[in-house]
């Protein structure tokens, strides 16, 4: 079976925290701003910052009325990090753009991408005005297959968990004592009603991560399909997603925690 365990969870926390401190010192910034959704990845990034006693502002950017689940998760996170999370609603400015820029051409993907870019505009405005850096929340699984919005959630200054597969982020979350209600929530980008990551990707993160790690280890696609227990076509589809999203992975700043780190020594060979 293709392994996915973190060799040392405590060491991974230390690497991420040390990297955050190093980048902060080099930049001359006063801290970080991180977009919080009530989901796993952003909560892990917030708790890495809290663990390292690194100054940061947490910002929640809902579109319209926040869901009950979002509000419960954010309250649990606020209690865990010991600080309030700022909140700004992006619905009105986003709708203003949609009304003025070819509104008849807006499909669901375009609308979702606009939401992601609006959120990053808010984060960078806060960062610029308060001398902060933007801490991104994407993980290695999302980055490799292009499951992020270019110049949206793919526009941050640093990605503390960018070298960890989603299944590894879950293990890190337990080490950081992320609230259980957040760990149990189905992963979602929060851009479209009823959307979940695994439904959109077409497979569970457990399967996706084993395929990705098998490819990084240089395994033959047929061997990967046998070890993971999926048809060859699913492996080839993931390889194609990596190829098609290559343009999105330029200039990401990620601490090295595993083999072939994106932006450092990942070989674009599929």
Catalytic residue positions, numbered: 41, 142
Place of tokens 């006063």: 30
Place of tokens 């997603």: 241
Do 147 and 231 meet the contact criterion of CB atoms below 8 Å apart? no
Residue 222 Cα distances to 197, 216, 230, angstroms: 25, 14, 10
Place of tokens 């072939």: 260
* Helix (H), strand (E) at residue 32: strand 31-35
Do 93 and 118 meet the contact criterion of CB atoms below 8 Å apart? yes
Q: Is 58 helix (H, G, I), strand (E, B) or coil?
A: strand
- Which residues, other chains included, contact 51 with Cβ-Cβ below 8 Å and sequence gap of 6+? 13, 17, 176
Closest CA to 185 of 8, 6, 16, 44: 44
* Residues 20, 5: Cα–Cα separation, whole Å: 23
Do 170 and 160 meet the contact criterion of CB atoms below 8 Å apart? no
Residue 159 corresponds to which tokens in the numbers above? Answer: 């990605």
* Residues 70, 112: Cα–Cα separation, whole Å: 18
For 3, other C-beta atoms within 10 Å of its C-beta total 9
For 116, other C-beta atoms within 10 Å of its C-beta total 23
């Amino acid at each position: 079976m293709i392994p996915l365990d973190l060799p040392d969870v405590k060491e991974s926390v230390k690497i991420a925290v040390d990297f955050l401190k190093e980048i902060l010192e080099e930049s001359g910034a006063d801290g970080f701003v991180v977009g919080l959704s009530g989901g796993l990845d952003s909560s892990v990034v917030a708790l890495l910052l809290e663990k390292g006693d690194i100054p940061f502002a947490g910002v929640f950017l809902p579109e319209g009325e926040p869901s009950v689940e979002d509000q419960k998760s954010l309250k649990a996170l606020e209690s865990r990090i010991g600080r309030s999370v700022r909140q700004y609603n992006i619905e009105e400015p986003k709708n203003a753009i949609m009304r003025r820029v070819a509104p008849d051409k807006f499909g669901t993907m375009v609308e979702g991408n606009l939401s992601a870019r609006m959120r990053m505009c808010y984060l960078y405005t806060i960062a610029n005005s308060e001398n902060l850096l933007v801490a991104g929340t994407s993980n290695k699984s999302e980055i490799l297959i292009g499951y992020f919005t270019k110049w949206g959630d793919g526009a941050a200054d640093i990605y503390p968990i960018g070298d960890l597969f989603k299944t590894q982020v879950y293990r890190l979350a337990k080490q950081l004592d992320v609230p259980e209600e957040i760990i149990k929530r189905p992963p979602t980008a929060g851009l479209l009603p009823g959307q979940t990551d695994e439904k959109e990707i077409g497979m569970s993160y457990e399967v996706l991560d084993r395929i990705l790690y098998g490819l990084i280890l240089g395994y033959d696609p047929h061997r990967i399909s046998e070890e993971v227990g999926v048809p060859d076509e699913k492996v080839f589809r993931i390889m194609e997603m990596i190829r098609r999203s290559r343009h999105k992975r330029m200039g990401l700043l990620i601490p090295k925690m595993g083999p072939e780190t994106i932006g450092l020594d990942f070989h674009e060979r599929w």
